């Protein structure tokens, strides 16, 4: 498949900005560029609308649920995709109305569903048969109208991506399988109960550099919509074709351009619906592809150490002041990133190093990358494309405070949008019963 490869438009700090931020807010530090994020949303919305005017973009807040970023996404016309009560409450705290939110989750609790229904959630993405019954029981007990329901479908396609972020195959915990008839049975049950069934949803995976699986997924849920209309009389008003477009983590990554990607996926859906009389609203829920390239992480170098290595003779470790607690993705998925030195000349000699973290694990962050031979304690490095799944996955392993986040405003100034954990906050949930010491 030929494609128009997206240009490298990843946000990066200049040396002066990086040094100022490290001095002002400390390191590790997440930094997001407001203008870059807004422009990315606008480009995605425009490309989708050009391919299919009756369309909606939802920001998958799991990618980065920092309140300021949710507020930016909403201000740019996105609804907000939430995958828990916590993410729903984050959206509300950011000023987003519950009616603008879509609730996901493969194992929503009765409490989560009750809160969402009481608040007036925009729609619920239903994942299993028990959830259908649970929603019916909750709405009946509360004497509240059923919110719009969207059935999540597993179309049975295997995307080319890491196994841990692949979700559209038949063997998955998510949704109703199309291939075994579960999707049609779920539709029938919703209709029997008189629930407010709105349409279907499909998400096949994340970081898709080959969009064929997404195209196939859209085609399959559209075909399912036609089938249930003909057999059950239900005309879907909404089809969500998911997210998943890949981003440029390294120079080797060549994601498809936004315009071509939207044309490719939408054309598959339109072809499957052609001549059927169905004209549903189409939704997408990008997260990573909207915010990842808008963010960087700043680290300060600590220990630089060269040690014997059997396979290559010797290895140089450049240890930074972060690691698993601010970016677990390399350990989880083998994720790779572009790492740039701060305050170094491009002509300086470089060598191959492994950037590691400071935790009590191997904690390899970025293996076999090039950094200047002059890299030493106190230097700064910036890691590109960390706007997604870094702040969201941050944790307190080894009792390290989670990093602060700074936002580069449209006028070029920086403001803190998430402060670093304090020690008091870290221990505030805990107590030491009397008699232990």
Tell me which of 96 and 208 has the higher pLDDT: 96
| CATH 2.40.37.10 domain span(s) along the chain | 293-423
Tens-digit pLDDT profile for residues 181-206: 999 999 999 999 999 999 999 988 76
Q: Which of 78, 146, 190, 360 is catalytic?
A: 360
Please say if 360 is a catalytic residue. Answer: yes
pLDDT band of residue 171 (cuts 50, 70, 90) is low
Q: Please give the CATH architecture assigned to the domain spanning 34-292.
A: Alpha-Beta Barrel (3.20)
Provide the mean pLDDT of the chain: 93
Q: Which residue has the tokens 């010797």?
A: 314
CA dist., res. 219 & res. 113, Å (int): 30
Q: What is the pLDDT of residues 353-405, one digit of tens each?
A: 999 999 998 999 999 999 999 999 999 999 999 999 999 999 999 999 999 99
Tabulate helix, strand, coil % of the chain (nearest 5).
35, 25, 40
- Residue 5 or residue 404, greater confidence: 404
Tokens of 79: 């609804």
pTM over 0.85: yes
- How large is the average pLDDT for residues 339-354? 96
Pick the CATH number of 293-423 from 3.40.50.2300, 3.40.50.720, 2.40.37.10, 3.40.630.40: 2.40.37.10
pLDDT single digits (tens) 121-158: 999 999 999 999 999 999 999 999 999 999 999 886 65
Question: Where does CATH 3.20.20.10 sit in the chain?
Answer: 34-292
- The burial of 380, by beta-carbon neighbours within 10 Å (0-12 exposed, 13-18 middle, 19 or more buried), is given as buried
For helices 212-232 and 258-273, angle between their N-to-C axes, nearest 10 degrees: 20
Confidence band, pLDDT 50/70/90 cuts, at residue 211: confident
Question: What is the biggest distance separating any 2 CA atoms in the chain, rounded to whole angstroms?
Answer: 76
What would the pLDDT profile of 274-305 be if each residue is shown by its tens digit?
999 999 999 999 999 999 999 999 999 999 99
pLDDT digits (tens, 9 = 90+) for 223-265: 999 999 999 999 999 999 988 889 999 999 999 999 999 999 9
Residue 217: its pLDDT value, please? 85
Q: Are 302 and 321 in contact (CB under 8 A)?
A: yes
pLDDT score recorded for residue 158: 52
Q: If pLDDT is split at 50, 70 and 90, which confidence band does 173 have?
A: confident
Q: What is the pLDDT of residue 4?
A: 47
């Amino acid at each position: 498949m030929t494609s128009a490869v997206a240009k490298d438009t990843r946000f990066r700090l200049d040396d002066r900005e990086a040094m100022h931020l490290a001095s002002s807010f400390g390191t590790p530090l997440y930094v997001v560029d407001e203008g870059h994020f807004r422009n990315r949303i606008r480009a995605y919305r425009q490309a989708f609308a050009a391919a299919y005017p009756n369309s909606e973009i939802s920001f998958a807040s799991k990618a980065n649920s920092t309140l300021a970023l949710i507020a930016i996404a909403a201000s740019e016309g996105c609804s907000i995709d939430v995958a828990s009560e916590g993410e729903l409450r984050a959206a509300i705290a950011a000023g987003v109305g519950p009616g603008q939110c879509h609730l996901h989750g493969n194992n929503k609790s009765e409490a989560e569903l009750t809160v969402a229904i009481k608040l007036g959630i925009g729609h619920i993405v239903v994942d299993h048969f028990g959830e259908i019954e649970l929603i019916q029981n909750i709405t009946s007990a509360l004497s509240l109208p059923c919110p719009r329901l969207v059935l999540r479908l597993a179309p049975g396609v295997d995307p080319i991506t890491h196994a841990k972020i692949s979700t559209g195959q038949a063997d998955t915990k998510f949704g109703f399988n199309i291939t075994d008839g579960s999707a049609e049975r779920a539709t029938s049950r919703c209709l029997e109960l008189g629930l407010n069934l709105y349409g279907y949803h499909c998400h096949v995976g994340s970081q898709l550099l080959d969009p064929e699986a997404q195209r196939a997924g859209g085609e399959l849920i559209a075909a399912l919509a036609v089938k249930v209309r003909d057999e059950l009389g239900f005309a879907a008003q909404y089809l969500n074709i998911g997210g998943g477009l890949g981003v440029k983590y390294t120079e080797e990554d060549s994601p498809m351009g936004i315009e071509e990607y939207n044309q490719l996926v939408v054309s598959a859906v339109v072809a499957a619906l052609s001549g059927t009389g169905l004209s549903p609203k189409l939704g997408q829920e990008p997260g990573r592809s909207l915010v990842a390239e808008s963010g960087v992480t700043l680290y300060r170098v600590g220990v630089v150490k060269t040690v014997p290595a059997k396979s290559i003779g010797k290895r140089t470790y450049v240890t930074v002041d972060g690691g698993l607690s601010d970016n677990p993705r390399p350990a989880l998925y083998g994720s790779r990133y572009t790492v740039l030195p701060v305050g170094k000349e491009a002509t300086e000699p470089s060598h191959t190093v492994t950037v590691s973290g400071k935790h009590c694990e191997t904690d390899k962050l970025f293996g076999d990358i090039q950094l200047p031979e002059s890299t030493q304690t106190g230097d700064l490095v910036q890691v590109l494309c960390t706007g997604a799944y870094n702040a969201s996955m941050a944790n307190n392993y080894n009792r390290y405070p989670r990093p602060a986040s700074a936002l580069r405003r449209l006028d070029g100034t920086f403001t803190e949008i998430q402060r670093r954990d304090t020690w008091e906050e870290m221990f505030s949930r805990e107590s030491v019963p009397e008699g232990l010491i």
